[in-house]
Amino acid sequence: MVAQVSADHAAEVVLGALGEIRVQHAFPLLSMDLDDTFLPFGKPIGFRELDLLIAYAGAGGHFVFNTLAPKEWFYLRVVEPLVRACHSRHDASPLSRVHWIVSGGREIFTFDPASQSYRRIFAASSGSKADGLSQLRSQLDPNVSLLALYGDRFDDPQNDGNALGRADIPIVINLGADQRAGRSDAGQVFVNSAEKGPSAALRHLVTVTEQLRALGPQAARGRERALMNDRTSADKTWRFETAQTCRNPRAVEVHGPGFVWSWTPRFTSYLGALVRSGEVYYARLPEDITGFTFFWTGGPDAASGTEPGHWEGRDFYPGLI
């Protein structure tokens, strides 16, 4: 494993590996850290980043955010704007290719098209970002191959550093301070990019998207396409005003932004974004849920920037009415 310093070389390594993946009729998975890699530290995702991410997913690429941030902060900064952007385009298909590993590998989420919610596929009391990536890959389609892992803190084994020397992570792109990587028998390629930070990450994302389109064919879109504003019948929509009479709801309708957190008897948890529809916010509920609660992002706590929002503080069990 030999570190090399060249912005062009970093892109060349990634594009060379992409060509090999497409020869095998597979699709790439890019893993990127959030702060100081994909986004400036603490900043929410902007329109440019959203457009580039959706374009990459539309070309068939898979993407995973791999961050130390907890799900509440990550939802506020990335997921809420991303779902809103897909809703405005009436197309949920990009969400099926954008996954997230949060809390340093302790929670992993993938999109479930049937419920239009993110399903938590892994939860543990401890973990690492590299182990989380391995867990995610075991759950994805076999035709999805890891292209590269991007980060900026490979000097910290509690952050990106736990990815070093792993045979299951073939390419590592360092967008932080240059670092000497020790030799390894794993065959991993480590590259210190001359261009640093989010600007480099976004440039690489554009380059990979263009090359992915050129190599074609792109992933089928019709299979996962969905109108995100489809509404369920009124008598199956849970509201605070009718909470005592609505049994086994298929959706919720509330008066503020955030997400609905639900769970099933088998302890599977789902996170459904509350999307604005007129004067209310709406989200579907998965089938066979036992209960749900809410996390709110529209209050003064989130507006102040000191907190991502707050939990409702109570659970709802509509099936037990």
Cβ distance 48 to 202 under 8 Å? yes
* Domain ranges for the chain: 7-215, 234-320
What is the arithmetic mean of pLDDT over 242-270?
Answer: 90
pLDDT, tens digit, 9 for 90 and up, residues 197-239: 999 999 999 999 999 999 876 554 544 454 455 565 556 899 9
For residues 249-263, give the mean pLDDT: 95
The string of pLDDT tens digits covering residues 274-298 is: 999 999 999 999 988 999 999 999 9
Mean of pLDDT values over 146-165? 96
> Is the confidence at residue 148, as pLDDT, over 80?
yes
Res 16 pLDDT > 60: yes
Indicate the burial class of 173 (C-beta count within 10 angstroms; 0-12, 13-18, 19 or more). Answer: buried
Task: Express each pLDDT in 26-45 by its tens digit.
Answer: 999 999 999 999 999 999 99
**Residue 86, Cβ neighbours under 10 Å: how many?**
24
160: region left, alpha or beta (phi > 0 left; psi from -120 to 50 alpha): alpha
- Do 194 and 6 form a contact (C-beta atoms < 8 A)? yes
Strands 291-296 and 258-263: antiparallel
* CATH number, span 7-215: 3.40.50.1000
Kindly report, residue by residue over 54-69, the tens digit of the pLDDT: 999 999 999 999 999 9
DSSP β-ladder status, 251-254 and 280-284: antiparallel
Q: Does residue 268 carry a pLDDT above 50?
A: yes
